[in-house]
Structure 1
């Protein structure tokens, strides 16, 4: 059995039998588990106990998992939350992750998928408390921006693709660099690719590389940006202008 980092987990489910079963499984893995049978009880526990991660059922009476997540974010922005549901769908999962839920898993939960999600969520603490060097380019007291940065820190710990929308000059690439700096791959390269700055006829060659003689002027083989970025993170700007074949 792989030794896991000790952590305090809060499990929330209005089904006592399922709550007890999952609690026993996670306790056997070395986690300290606290349980709540409602969203309101969970909020009371969060107010007085140190919790590192919340795992909540989606469908519950009075306050469902997403409503609980919204309340948690008001008082503890950045607290990782994993949602479990027996009624999951792809649109539900997309909506939940867009709102900042760390992971959305369908019941019956695959053991390995659950433990992987827990380990990744807890890796948020890999950035020491008070170490804000990853976000040094942001100077703000705006509650909205502070929450955005907490979400950026959270998503940085996973391997998901991130879409950053905004007008030109609003700092999309700066935010992308901050996400990279907060990630476990921060020591790897950060490669920014501005698709608008590359001529369409050369874009495919720049991205994927080419062999010597592949086209007129290709006097030698060249490594593409994708190969150069192996193990690193890429930031794409103006991706929409790419032809569908490149996308």
Structure 2
């Protein structure tokens, strides 16, 4: 059985460049067909199927955007890359918003062209629409169905994507899903929290360094960009980057090269950039804390992750999923949740979103005294946010983060049980209505475990 040769459509009104592209594709063992105008390209697309299309933006009788619009109707699964005039980032950005997966600037560099073609053919082979991996996002609300559909479309593109949403809503999960559904899914997914890196170490962390280039550089370091080469780099909390680092990041993204600290030469990188922050990036830009040029480079396409309070109908499915996962992790049978407890959760605003729901269920599973979680096990804050009696015996201080407050409640309940049983863990676990294994897990997480294993 002979292997099918991929078919590529080349559209350019410049004969010399058209010929160069056809020759390059031929050397790559690809079947290239050329069109010198928009009308000719439309006719070819209507007559036959192609695995990939390369089109110039200026076509004499139209533009590359006109071709993109036509292709969306007659060949929606065909990846399209555009060729733009050098430095025309606005045009390239507009093309990617219309559905192009990537772009290349004139004069065309052959190594960059080959990479562009390989990326496009990788999209064709990925069969994105049939993977079903988007089901790893729990929920069938209208907002989640819309997000899942958007993710399927975004996965085929190589455009930078800005993932917006509140803290705890699942932005990194969305980023990982975009990566796993795309043509780079067999390469690395590298996630970094920009707010967790000291300012003086950022350049080294992102771009790497040579041994001896500064005090403490005891060995060579590749850096995050080169670690993600071929794959995806996810910049979480990108709004926390200082301005001097934003300049360096912009150059690395535009030039697709990095220069490690202490190196004289730049290294090429081929990766996809995804970023996220819980802040309003447009507001940060208006306030002068985020560079305008970097904002428009990163925010080619925005994917918004809705807060949990806007998709309350997904809470039952999320509760079931989280409890099953916790049961597997603790090697115990997950408890059921009563209708009253589920109703209580459905009425709670969840300022911490899905992450807070996970913490609430983890605590409830620890504290429930049987096989069923009841409202009293949830320990939700009072809706009025005023002083209230809690298991911890005190109201939450306004400056104390909610997660720390709820963790303190759980810690106090466990300590009470341990004190009552003279730190006999088996007896304490029985008193708390959990397995010994579950209690040991909680003690380790809350840093209450001691060297002695008295039971």
Q: TM-score, normalised by structure 2?
A: 0.39
Indicate whether 1:193 and 2:193 are aligned. Answer: yes
Given that residues 78 and 151 in structure 1 are in contact (C-alpha distance below 8 angstroms), is that contact kept between their aligned partners in structure 2?
no
Match of 1:61 in 2: 60
Indicate whether 1:153 and 2:152 are aligned. Answer: no
Given that residues 192 and 235 in structure 1 are in contact (C-alpha distance below 8 angstroms), is that contact kept between their aligned partners in structure 2?
yes
Indicate whether 1:172 and 2:175 are aligned. Answer: no
Shift of 1:122: 1.0
Larger Cα-atom Rg = 2
Structure 2 residue runs of 5 or longer lacking an equivalent are 206-222, 247-455
Given that residues 65 and 83 in structure 1 are in contact (C-alpha distance below 8 angstroms), is that contact kept between their aligned partners in structure 2?
yes
For 1:194 and 1:150, locate their aligned partners in 2 and report how far apart those are by CA, in whole Å. Answer: 27
Match of 1:221 in 2: none
1:86-125 pair list within 5 angstroms:
86=85, 89-125=88-124
Shift of 1:176: 0.5
Given that residues 83 and 104 in structure 2 are in contact (C-alpha distance below 8 angstroms), is that contact kept between their aligned partners in structure 1?
yes
Q: TM-score, normalised by structure 1?
A: 0.66
CA distances 1:149-177 after superposition (whole Å, capped 9, x unpaired): 2232332xxxx7x3424332765333201
Tell me: CA distance 1:32–1:176, structure 2 relative to 1, closer, same or farther (3 Å): same
Tell me: CA distance 1:152–1:32, structure 2 relative to 1, closer, same or farther (3 Å): same
For 1:111 and 1:189, locate their aligned partners in 2 and report how far apart those are by CA, in whole Å. Answer: 27
The structure richer in helix per residue is: 2
For 1:21 and 1:233, locate their aligned partners in 2 and report how far apart those are by CA, in whole Å. Answer: 30
Tell me: CA distance 1:69–1:145, structure 2 relative to 1, closer, same or farther (3 Å): farther
Match of 1:217 in 2: none
For 2:189 and 2:55, locate their aligned partners in 1 and report how far apart those are by CA, in whole Å. Answer: 36
Shift of 1:245: 5.8
For 1:110 and 1:146, locate their aligned partners in 2 and report how far apart those are by CA, in whole Å. Answer: 34
Aligned residues: 216
Tell me: CA distance 1:42–1:243, structure 2 relative to 1, closer, same or farther (3 Å): same
Given that residues 86 and 107 in structure 2 are in contact (C-alpha distance below 8 angstroms), is that contact kept between their aligned partners in structure 1?
no
Match of 2:180 in 1: 181
For 2:13 and 2:123, locate their aligned partners in 1 and report how far apart those are by CA, in whole Å. Answer: 28
Match of 1:49 in 2: 48
